[in-house]
Structure 1
Amino acid sequence: MTKKYLYNISNKTLGSKLWKRAQKSIAGGSMLLTKNPDRYLSDYWPSYFQKTSGCKVWDLNSKMYLDFSYMGVGTNSLGYSRKEVDKEVLKKISLGNMSTLNAPEEVFLSEKLLNLNPWAQKVRFTRSGGEANAVAIRLARTFKRKDKILICGYHGWHDWYLSTNLSSKNNLNGHIIKGLNPGGVPSSLKNTTLSFKYNDIKTFTKLIYKHKDDIAAVKMEVVRSIQPKDDFLKKVREITKKHNIILIFDECTSGFRETYGGIYSKYKVTPDMIIYGKALGNGYAINAVLGKGKIMNSIDDTFISSTFWTERIGSTAALATLDTMKKEKSWIVITKIGKEVRGFWKDVFKKFEFDTEITGIPALSNFYFKDLNHLKYIRFISQEMLQKGFLANNVFYASTSHNKALLKKYFLAFEESCMDLREAMDKKNIDILLKKQHKIKKNFERLN
């Protein structure tokens, strides 16, 4: 086996100790499922960061790792601590982030986003994707005066979404996170949100005709793991138009990855409402709901309001992020990087005879082992890569900071790790080589 390790990993680091403390004081241990160290290497995962730069992350023990995994869970397509964005944010902080009056930046940002989406007439801002999704649903239901929603994809944690699993706990399986428990969601919401699978136009059509008089909106991700087939998106648009149903595209994740705006423009299918987030603020909290004026104006017939949606940092960061993206054409850069990584994965998997599948759009790529031991193999790769100075698993979210030199280092380390995995698989000793972890409580499983 190769032994070119940069670090000796330990379960007694400052990060692992703090994680133990967190589980005693924080419900669930962390705020986000994807940042729970039990999903990676449990006590051996660095868990907490001290500082960041580009795609570099320093843990609490001052060890530096190259992030070739989630990059802030899709928030930092321009890299961490991007100076052009941080400079504007710091400038506004020095002037004041909050007041009794409104921040002018929210007006500037709304105008810029509407220019990018000329079919839309109004915007509403939030500070998280789940909130933005809830706002879009409330507005759609208010405008249509109907309750039912059809969904395809992942749209957050709010009651309207989790109610999909009230009739069957498996309804949301296949929509990014498997096994979501709708505990605490009122049973009266049962069958108000119904799911359909991507590219399954037959099931979609059946649901439409069965519930067409009660459906307010169809909400879906434009694309995530697989590409649309047989004009799927166009057919969804045609059917929703025919039945006067609002079509909402959730582009919290896909926005600004392949185009300067929504990926919907690539497929030439225009929605009635759209949601942007994650990459919009390059690490600062900002989300936007855009829509046609008549739908957005229904906000006057309901109540949607939040104090911290008015803070200044989010809008300021988004304005600077959009300017930097446009200047560098970041969506082209990260797509090219993603394609290069996918090509490398394909060659390495073929070399070591791994039965895998690569999914997602280039800038948001994933791979899977077609094996019951998939999670064990990914954990082994994460363990090997961590010792080589990388935060890595089966997910790669590209950023402009993943330059040629760093890609070369990643390719070398990843191929060595795959070589070691092949050897462990052949010798059937992978369980011996994996670091022992405490018993992990399995609630939910993120699929990518």
Structure 2
Amino acid sequence: MPSSRKGVEVGVATEDCVETEGLQLPRSRMANERLHALIPGGAHTYAKGDDQYPENLAPVISHGRGAHVWDIDGNRYIEYGSGLRSVSLGHAHPRVIEAVRRELDRGSNFVRPSIVEVEAAERFLATVPTAEMVKFAKNGSDATTAAVRLARAVTGRPRVAICGDHPFFSVDDWFIGTTPMSAGIPAATTELTVAFPYGDLAATESLLTRYQDEVACLILEPAGHSEPPPGYLAGLRELADRHGCVLIFDEMITGFRWSEAGAQGLYGVVPDLSTFGKALGNGFAVSALAGRREVMEPGGLRHSGDRVFLLSTTHGAETHSLAAAMAVQATYVEEGVTARLHALGERLAAGVRDAAAGMGVGDHIVVRGRASNLVFATLDENLQPSQEYRTLFLRRLLAGGVLAPSFVVSSALSDADIDRTVEVVAQACAVYRKALDAADPTPWLAGRPVKPVFRRLV
């Protein structure tokens, strides 16, 4: 069965774990207490925090395989948004694991570059031919911050222009200072970051004119929940050229999910710099900063100008992570993974929309985004975004064996997994309708509502 509620591989699930109304996670609850006692926030990523899930229904994971994960209470779930969109091939993908295993037996980190580093660079630049050089790191924030530092160095300008419609770029001060979680960041740092709206070339040009010769770069996700307006990305390219700033595409999400070469490969607009991560390693820690040679080279040794401290990380070129990245890229290209992600997403989106409409909540549970990167919005009786209704919806999904903070698919999902998910969504929509009719979801929450990651107070 695609979503059996009793796990036989780990622990022993109680009957309460099987009942739709009585899902209990006693072992996960205890583990969450241990996590909070030792780790600020109870997780190493805020988006994985238990505040993102209904109260007492934040499963702690034992293991995963393919499109399924098991919690330590013995429950199995169909999982979406795996690893915050990073595990796009499914957990423990055989080809990736085998590539990693081969390198582990050969050592993972040396005092000089490994031959794997140049092989990984060659593979990446063959997959993303719009770039001419690449440097690897372990996380997306290091890559985007390196891109910003490089842009400031090559332009001699202080300001960073971010797309204000996109939710996240880096954990570093230049971006986090613009969010509600800005404690500890000097105002002088935040003042150097300005924002432009997605899709509005006139507003962006106005910003560049206002800060004439001060903006080092424009940084944005090239696409998000909607397709870029016709001519928009090409227009940004022209604006950046005309105003002498660096154009940076954050392809952490769009990389591989839009095409093997990212959104830049799909839309045919070449940025000066781009950053990749998430799907690049299928869960292994690897990210990449790539770009035009003349922009990247100041971070190297073969130029006559001031040196730029671009990226220098002890673990940036661990051989097993680079081997994982090469196996991922080969799998995407040879097996047409991006097309499969789109097909699965289209099937899921159609099923969820039909289920919601059939239960009379089609205007309240809204599926958005490219088929390979679906999210959902939960709207109240006034069609306003609601954390309370999100809590209700997540609670019912969990009870039905679906772990879905988003509807972002992995290629390991089967048609049966999608069909089961749609069944569970339909059951959740029936309860959603009851709450809407009552104009009060509170009786179905069983605790506090989930909370947004970026908020000023706990």
Counterpart residue number, 2:276:
276
Query: Unaligned stretches of 5+ in structure 2?
Result: 1-15, 301-306
Of the three residues 344, 360, 368, the one matched with 2:369 is: 360
Q: Secondary structure at the match of 1:382?
A: helix
Matching residue of 1:414: 425
Relative to structure 1, is the Cα distance of residues 63 and 136 closer, same or farther in structure 2, using a 3 angstrom cutoff? same
Matched residue, 1:29: 42
Question: Which residue does the alignment assign to 1:44?
Answer: 57
Q: Equivalents in 2 of 1:387, 1:365: separation in Å?
A: 21
**Does residue 1:92 correspond to 2:67, yes or no?**
no
Q: Which moved more, 1:317-326 or 1:346-355?
A: 346-355
Pairing 1:120–2:126 present: no
Counterpart mapping for 1:12-27 below 5 A: 13-27=26-40
Deviations 1:262-303 (A, max 9, x none): 112222211111111000000101100101111111114122
- Aligned partner of 1:340 in structure 2 is 347
Please give the residue correspondences for 1:146-185 in structure 2 after superposition, counting only pairs within 5 Å.
146-152=157-163, 153=166, 154-163=168-177, 165=178, 179-185=179-185
Deviations 1:77-100 (A, max 9, x none): 111110110111112112221222
Is the CA contact 2:133–2:292 (under 8 Å) kept in the aligned structure 1? Answer: yes
| 1:199-250 deviation per Cα after TM superposition (whole angstroms, max 9, x unaligned) | 1222211101111311111111001122222422121111111222110100
Mapped partners of 2:426, 2:455: distance in 1 = 26
Shift of 1:379: 1.3
Which residue of 2 is the match for residue 176 of structure 1? Answer: none
CA distance in 2: counterparts of 1:91 and 1:35, whole angstroms? 31
- Deviation of 1:186 (Å): 2.3
Structure 2 residue identity aligned to 1:41: P
Q: How does 1:265-304 map to 2 (within 5 A)?
A: 265-300=265-300, 301-303=307-309, 304=311
Q: 1:441 to 1:387 in 2, by over 3 A?
A: closer
Q: 2:234 and 2:267 mapped to 1: Cα distance? A: 8
Looking at structure 2, the residues matched to 443 and 250 of structure 1 have their Cα atoms a distance apart, in angstroms, of: 20
Which position in structure 1 is the counterpart of 2:389? 377
Q: Residue 10 of structure 1: CA displacement?
A: 5.2
The reply on whether 1:213 has 2:225 as its aligned counterpart is: no
Deviation at 1:440, TM superposition (A): 7.4
Partner of 1:311: 318
Identity %: 26
SS of 1:248's partner is strand
| 331-340 vs 196-205, greater mean Cα deviation | 196-205
Superposed counterparts of 1:216-235, under 5 Å: 216-235=216-235
Partner SS for 2:42: coil
Partner of 2:446: 435
Aligned match of 1:134: 145
Q: Deviations over 1:369-428 (max 9, x none)?
A: 3434622222112111212211124x1111111111111111111112111221232245
Within 1, Cα distance between the matches of 2:245 and 2:452? 38
Counterparts of 2:402 and 2:379, CA distance in 1: 24
**1:444/1:190 Cα in 2 relative to 1: closer, same or farther (>3 Å)?**
closer
SS of the aligned residue for 1:333 comes to: helix
| SS of corresponding position for 1:80 | coil
Q: TM-score, normalising length from structure 1?
A: 0.89
Matches of 1:319 and 1:29, distance apart in 2: 32
1:311 deviation in Å?
1.5
Partners of 2:127 and 2:404 in 1: CA distance: 34
| Contact 2:216 2:245 (8 Å CA) reproduced | yes
2:17–2:24 Cα contact (<8 Å) kept: no
d(CA) in 2 for partners of 1:329 and 1:138? 35
The answer as to 2:439 corresponding to 1:444 is no
Indicate how the Cα distance of structure 1 residues 11 and 407 shifts in structure 2: closer, same or farther if over 3 A, else same.
closer
CA distance 1:367–1:288, shift in 2 (3 Å):
same
Measure the CA separation in 2 of the matches of 1:190 and 1:74.
28
Instruction: Name the SS for the 2:284 alignment partner.
Output: coil
The residue type equivalent to 2:454 in the other structure is F
Question: How far, CA to CA, are the matches of 1:242 and 1:428 in structure 2?
Answer: 53
User: Partners of 1:322 and 1:232 in 2: how far apart?
Assistant: 28
CA distance in 2 between partners of 1:440 and 1:273 (Å): 36
C-alpha displacement at 1:441, in angstroms? Answer: 7.7
Task: Provide the secondary structure at the position in 1 that maps to 2:371.
Answer: coil
- Structure 2: distance between partners of 1:15 and 1:90: 30
CA contact (8 A) 2:368 2:376 kept: yes
- Of 423-432 and 313-322, more deviation after overlay is shown by 423-432
Q: Distance in 2 between matches of 1:428 and 1:229?
A: 37
Distance 1:264 1:243 in 2: 21
Deviation of 1:349 (Å): 2.6
For the residues of structure 2 that align with 1:219 and 1:125, how far apart are their CA atoms? 19
Determine if contact 2:52/2:451 at 8 Å carries over to the other structure: no
- Structure 1: stretches of 5+ with no match in the other structure: 166-178
Aligned to 1:172: none
| CA distance in structure 1 between the aligned counterparts of 2:75 and 2:19, rounded to whole angstroms | 8
CA distance in 2, matches of 1:365, 1:180: 25
Alpha-carbon deviation of 1:196? 1.2
